[in-house]
């Protein structure tokens, strides 16, 4: 079974600074999808960024980018120019190419400090 | 707006009672998921529908849980004989065209 690990339960960053959230996963599959989701306090889960495993190029969405290391099974999220609105729980998620079950990590609570 | 409406948003019930949650996609989506999220944890998969067919169920979905999607549009999740351990946020999500999930705001269950 696939597993997703986020080793940083909590992190903080100063506004306008850069922060990197870690995620590792375990799978025997070669084709799969990886995602980062953001869940602001008392609000719904929002997709931040997605990555297909067959693509070598790291995905980027505005201030958000990933460092996807397939051999190491690592998928970190970098947030540049952090904003107060980035304060949220961040979940890393895995989905294989055939199944429909998304596996989520335990989350990292990010606080952006003014 | 992710196009998913969930009701009720919060349900408080006594142990042993039955509860039902409803998920209404605003637009057509073939794939509909239910997840459960406990405080401080990531969502856990419960079940998945492709149109009206329930194609996958987690072992977390005990016989007290049942989900339906009768016409391939809205879905319901019923929990019978609730237990305190059922207290959680129940999330409905729709499958996007490029493999991602779009979540609703969730229905929070508190079992006293």
Please give the full DSSP string across A84-104, using - where no structure is assigned. GGG-EEEEEEEEESS---EEE
Partner residue facing B106 (CB), from A33, A44, A106: A44
**CB spacing of A44 vs B95 below 8 angstroms:** no
Q: Label residue A57 exposed, middle or buried (CB < 10 Å: 0-12, 13-18, 19+).
A: exposed
Rounded to the nearest 10 degrees, how much is the dihedral formed by the CA atoms of B109, B2, B44, A7?
-110
The larger pLDDT score, comparing residue A35 to residue B59, is at A35
- Lowest mean pLDDT segment, chosen from A32-41, B9-18, B25-34: B25-34
Chain B residues close to A44, C-beta within 8 Å: 2, 103-106
At B98 the pLDDT is 77
Helices (H) and strands (E) in chain A, counts: 0, 12
Q: Average pLDDT for residues B50-77, to the nearest whole number?
A: 90
Chain B residues close to A99, C-beta within 8 Å: 56
Partner residue facing A50 (CB), from B33, B100, B106: B100
pLDDT in tens, B80-94: 999 999 999 999 999
């Amino acid at each position: 079974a696939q597993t997703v690990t986020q080793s940083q339960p909590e992190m903080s960053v100063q506004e306008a600074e850069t922060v990197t959230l870690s995620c590792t996963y375990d799978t025997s599959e070669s084709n799969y999808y990886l995602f980062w989701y953001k869940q602001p306090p008392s609000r719904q889960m929002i997709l931040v960024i997605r990555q297909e495993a067959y693509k070598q190029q790291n995905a980027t969405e505005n201030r958000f980018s990933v460092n996807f290391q397939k051999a190491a099974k690592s998928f970190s999220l970098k947030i540049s120019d952090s904003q107060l609105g980035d304060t949220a729980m961040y979940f890393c998620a895995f989905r294989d190419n055939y199944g429909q079950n998304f596996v989520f990590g335990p989350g990292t609570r990010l606080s952006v400090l003014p | 707006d992710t196009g998913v409406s969930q009701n009720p948003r919060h349900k408080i019930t006594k142990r042993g009672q039955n509860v039902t949650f409803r998920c209404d996609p605003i637009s057509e989506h073939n794939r509909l998921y239910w997840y459960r999220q406990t405080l401080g944890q990531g969502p856990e998969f419960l079940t998945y529908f492709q149109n009206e067919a329930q194609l996958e169920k987690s072992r977390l979905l005990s016989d007290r849980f049942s989900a339906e999607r009768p016409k391939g549009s809205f879905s319901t999740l019923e929990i019978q004989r609730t237990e305190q351990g059922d207290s959680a946020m129940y999330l409905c999500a729709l499958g996007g065209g490029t493999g991602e999930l779009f979540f609703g705001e969730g229905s929070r269950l508190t079992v006293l």
